[in-house]
Structure 1
Amino acid sequence: MKINKIIIIFLVWSALFITQAHASNKIEGVRVWPSPESTRVVFDLSSKPDYSYFMLKNPYRLVVDFSDTDKLPSLPEVPDEHRIIKKLRYSSPKSKGGSRVVFDLSRTAKPVVFALAPTGPYKDRLVVDLYGTQMSAYSNESTNKKSESREKDRNIVIAIDAGHGGEDPGSIGPSGTYEKNITLQIAKRLVRLIDNEPGMEAKLIRTGDYFLKLNTRTVRARERKADFFVSIHADAFTRPEPSGSSVWVLSLNRANSEIGKWLENTEKHSQLLGGAADVIKDTENERYLAKALLDMSMDHSMKTGFQVAEEVIGELRKVTKLHKRTPQAANLGVLKSPDIPSILVETGFISNPTEERMLLSSSHQDKLARAVFNAIKGYYWQNPPADSLFASMRDDNPVKHTVKAGESLSVLASRYKVSVESLKRFNSLKSNTLFVGQVLTIPKA
């Protein structure tokens, strides 16, 4: 009996020793996501991380310490396309039972480190974002470039944003399809169509599989002097039944909120207002002027966005099922720029097995991209910026419009930004009555 007690005590002691010998957390994987201006490194962990970090110079390094955490046998190699991180390696841990990861950097960088709770297919994670030092999006140089007059007969610039990316896969289809991959494929097809059209030029906001913050996407569009911003997404629902595409525009509530934020930042509204901002000081009365100008800019952006959204729905109807037959308004973070008209296109429900297969089809992706392209081209052919090649081409080839059911002179005047009187005069109309099928020549706005 005494011997049995000794054995039991020994086994309990051994179990306690073994438990203490192993850390309570474990690094289960490390993923590296490159992008042109930043790099994201994600540590997949078995439980919530206890961590700290600091920067070192000569040479530049970021050091991340994990407390009471077992490390992986090896860290991943860093691809050549990384411009910030040269190498990931282990070093002597800060405390017993911990792990220390060192980021050897090619240049100075700003680290943003934060933990993420389990969600979807992921467990606990520690995210390390490294932003290379660069010119601020709102610096004077950027503002001055924006204020420069554009060349005559310029291209109309369309910024195309492929939703999600990198660590953010977006919605996941029944067979495991990631929304981030579908959106990038459709976006690239749309880029090719736009770049092949004389007078139009595409700027792809996300060019690869990496994460971008929502505000970064609109900043990039502005830096590229975009006339229009379109974000490509794929919808999802908790049940597989919903299907069809839809188009979203900025809600009025979100618009008012964003104007308030821009007014609080002098650099931002100076960038928006260009030369007009030089005469606006920080006095209360002149801030009213700034708000009035921003209101006008936002009103134009929202009106243009809604009109293009209607055109996109009309084109999508020809190639796929619609989930919503009119533009939908929402407080979407990516649709928030006062100076750039914007829409978000939900190309279909990736959560619907049938639409997931369609969204994976090259031919269906081509149809969706061409529908969006035709709508944007059609709008800007009807409403070209005065300094664009489209405007010059329209002077040589006036727009013809065939009257459809429900259209009136006032509706067409609003659409083409001309007066009712000029429409009547240009087409020698004696009354305001129009007939379905009647062909009108649209005068220059």
Structure 2
Amino acid sequence: MLGLMLLLALCWNLAEAREVKSVQLRDTATGTRAEIALDSRAEFRVIPLSNPDRLVLDVLDTGLSPKVRVPASSGIVKAVRTGTPEPGITRIVFDLAAPVAVIGPNLEWREGQAVLVLQWPGDGKPVATETPAPPIAPNPAPPKPDPAPPSNSPADILAAKSTPDAMPTVKQGSGTVATGVPTRVATGEPVRTEIAKQPVAAPPAPAEANPVQSTQDVARNAKLRQLVIAIDAGHGGQDTGAIGASGTREKDITLQVARELAKQVNAMPGMKAYLTRDADFFIPLDQRYKKARAAKADVFVSIHADAFTNPQANGSSVFVLSQRGASSQAARWLANQENAADLVGGVKLKDKSDTLASVLLDLSQSATQRASEAIAKDVLGGLARIGKTHKRDIERANFVVLRSPDVPSMLVETAFISNPDEERRLKDPAYQRQLARAVLDGIDRYFSRLPPPGTWYAAKRSGSLGSSDGSADAAP
């Protein structure tokens, strides 16, 4: 009887054992994305390491399925390794090409399966493998300046001010988020050439020491912060959204427009895109704006397609959070201890009295609301230039995705998918490009008028970037 009970217990444990089902890695428009599929919810921990740069993900009380295949390198990730440091722990190690801090892991549910998602921000381009520089001694003496006169071009002036940023040490536990900025260090010494006395030889062809730089190169060299545009493709997964007369699903249209908008944002100098989802899966509404906050977004844009019982309803709309929704959300935010411990508008509320925290939160929310309305008006103006708008002014509603207390947010209804004519246009890639461009034009117009300090837009407005208009950067 005892042996039978032990056998049954063993069978039960085997049946209930959790497994890592797959590990996937791919490049996206906003960086490198890793997805670890599990057969059920599991605890995990993240350990960032340096020298060399890597990220360790330990999934607790979980085994590794024998069917798992380690993915090839992609983007910032040079290699992926798996192992079992101790019984019951599956370890996945991501070897990184640069010290870029991860966003996540975020736990998502897709068709009854748990998926851990990690994202390394970037421009979607693979990191080039560079020849390692020789070891640098501590506190090396600065090289002697080259006798050649310095260049006074704006690009060289900005590059001269550039200094490498130290990578912050981040301790990340289960479910927490760490963000950071990739750093690059370039070292070198001036090369001197000796001139022969007899005979006088023809000088060698000059090396291209100062190649033409794009505005993105100038911004990177000057360590100017890029504006983060969080783009949220509405619905997804089991939530199809509205369905048009010909069967067009809103979740597909929103994802296509969001991807196109991210592509155009990443082609703009001084901006980079962050997609809350870049595939067909569902994200809870309150997690969407939280992901934007974790990515330190400067603005949040949720893409949707409108629908109405009358098929003649048409036009685009732009929504911001209603005043009543803003005030009620602020009260809930303050009452939630987890949120109260968070940074809101750059201020930590945890160590403040309830009265002071309430005042600070109200000031942050009021400023965010004003910025949301100003950006939304510019975006609505951009949409009006390519077609009809449903109403002349921005609209207000208590949408959950617009409830961030410190990230200006808007919801864009691109057109009515319930209108047969607009449904046809929404499926047209050319019209999707126009929609994305109209939204981007509105965002660009706002930040050109009110640029945040330390950004490319601020440098351009102050004239420190010279006369470059960035046309070369926008070329395909």
Question: Could you say which TM-score interval applies, normalised by the shorter chain?
Answer: 0.5 to 0.7
- Asked if 1:128 corresponds to 2:128, the answer is no
Contact 2:317 2:414 in 1 (8 A): yes
Provide the C-alpha distance between the structure 2 equivalents of 1:225 and 1:312, rounded to a whole number of angstroms: 21
- Matched-pair contact (CA < 8 Å) for 1:161–1:232: yes
3-state SS in 2 of match to 1:208: coil
Q: In structure 1, give the amino acid aligned to 2:456.
A: L
- 2:313 alignment partner in structure 1: 242
Q: Which 5+ residue runs of structure 2 have no aligned equivalent?
A: 1-11, 26-34, 41-61, 66-88, 91-104, 119-171, 182-221, 466-476
Distance 1:301 1:60 in 2: 46
Structure 2 residue 407 is matched with structure 1 residue 340? yes
Q: Give the deviation of 1:61 after TM superposition.
A: 3.5
Q: Secondary structure at the residue paired with 2:411? A: strand
Match of 1:206 among 277, 281, 296: 277
Instruction: Specify the code of the residue in structure 1 equivalent to 2:355.
Output: Y
Shift in Å at residue 187 of structure 1? Answer: 0.8
Offset of 1:308 from its aligned partner? 0.9
Residue matched to 1:376:
443
Q: How high is the sequence identity, in percent, across the aligned residues?
A: 42
Change over 3 Å in CA distance of 1:212–1:110 after alignment to 2? closer
Q: Any idea what SS the aligned residue of 2:309 has?
A: coil
Change (3 A) 1:227 1:61: same
3-state DSSP class of the match of 1:239? coil
Native 8 Å contact 2:22 2:37 kept in 1: no
Q: How does 1:387-406 map to 2 (within 5 A)?
A: 387-396=454-463
**Deviation readout 1:288-319 (Å, 9 max, x if unpaired):** 11111111111111111111111111111111
8 A contact 2:106–2:175 mirrored in 1: no
CA distance in 2: counterparts of 1:156 and 1:289, whole angstroms = 30
Mark the CA change 1:350 to 1:295 in structure 2 (over 3 Å): closer, same or farther: same
Distance 1:164 1:278, change over 3 A: closer
Describe the shift of the 1:276–1:157 C-alpha distance in structure 2 as closer, same or farther (beyond 3 A).
closer
Q: How far apart, in 2, do the equivalents of 1:111 and 1:223 lie?
A: 14
Q: Is it true that 1:327 corresponds to 2:406 in the alignment?
A: no
The equivalences for 1:254-273 within 5 A come to: 254-273=325-344
Q: CA deviation at 1:247?
A: 0.3
Return the offset for 1:331: 0.7
- Which residue in 2 is equivalent to 1:84? 37
**Aligned-partner Cα distance in 1 for 2:115–2:242:** 26
1:157 equivalent in alignment to 2:228: yes
- Structure 2 distance, partners of 1:111, 1:374, is 34
**Residue 294 in structure 1 maps to residue 247 in structure 2:** no
Residues 360-409 of structure 1, C-alpha deviation per residue, up to 9 Å, x if partnerless? Answer: 011111111000000001100111111212111110079xxxxxxxxxxx
1:225 Cα deviation after fit: 0.7
**Counterpart among 433, 445, 451 of residue 366 in structure 1:** 433
The aligned residue for residue 60 of structure 1 is: 17
Equivalent residue of 2:343, what SS?
helix
- State the alpha-carbon separation in 1 of the partners of residues 427 and 108 from structure 2: 35
Cα 1:256/1:129, change in 2 over 3 Å = farther
SS in structure 1 opposite 2:342? Answer: helix
Q: Residues 271 and 196 (structure 1 numbering): CA distance in 2 closer, same or farther, change over 3 Å?
A: same
Match of 2:263 in 1: 192
1:167 to 230, 238, 243: 238
Whole-Å separation in 1 of the counterparts to 2:349 and 2:287: 25
Q: Which amino acid aligns with 1:130?
A: A
The Cα of 1:209 is off from its aligned counterpart by 0.4
1:161–1:279 Cα change, 3 Å: closer
Whether the 8 Å CA contact 2:23–2:36 is kept in 1: the answer is no
Give the Cα separation in 2 of the matches to 1:137 and 1:296: 31
1:153–1:390 contact (8 Å) kept in structure 2: no
Aligned AA (2:331): G
After TM superposition, give the deviation of residue 83 of structure 1 in Å: 2.0
Report the TM-score when normalising by structure 2.
0.55
Tell me which amino acid in the other structure corresponds to 1:367: Q
Q: Contact (CA 8 Å) 2:349, 2:357: kept in 1 or not?
A: no
The 1:261–1:392 alpha-carbon spacing in structure 2 relative to 1, beyond 3 Å, is same
1:365/1:136 CA distance change after superposition, 3 Å: farther
Residues of 1 paired with 2:339 and 2:22: CA distance? Answer: 36
Q: Map 1:15-164; keep pairs closer than 5 Å.
A: 60-61=17-18, 83-85=36-38, 128=112, 130=114, 132=116, 139=176, 142=178, 153-164=224-235
> Does the CA-based 8 Å contact 1:152-1:389 persist in structure 2?
no
Shift of 1:168: 0.5
Residues 203-226 of structure 1, C-alpha deviations (whole Å, 9 max, x = no match) = 111110001011111111111110
Question: In 1, distance between residues paired with 2:444 and 2:301?
Answer: 13
**Do the aligned residues in 2 keep the contact of 1:84 with 1:105 (CA within 8 Å)?**
no
Report the CA distance between 1:239 and its aligned residue: 2.3
When Rg is computed on C-alpha atoms for both structures, the one with the higher figure is 1
SS of equivalent to 2:303: strand
Give the CA deviation at 1:58. Answer: 8.7
Counterparts of 1:111 and 1:246, CA distance in 2: 32
Q: CA deviation at 1:129?
A: 5.2
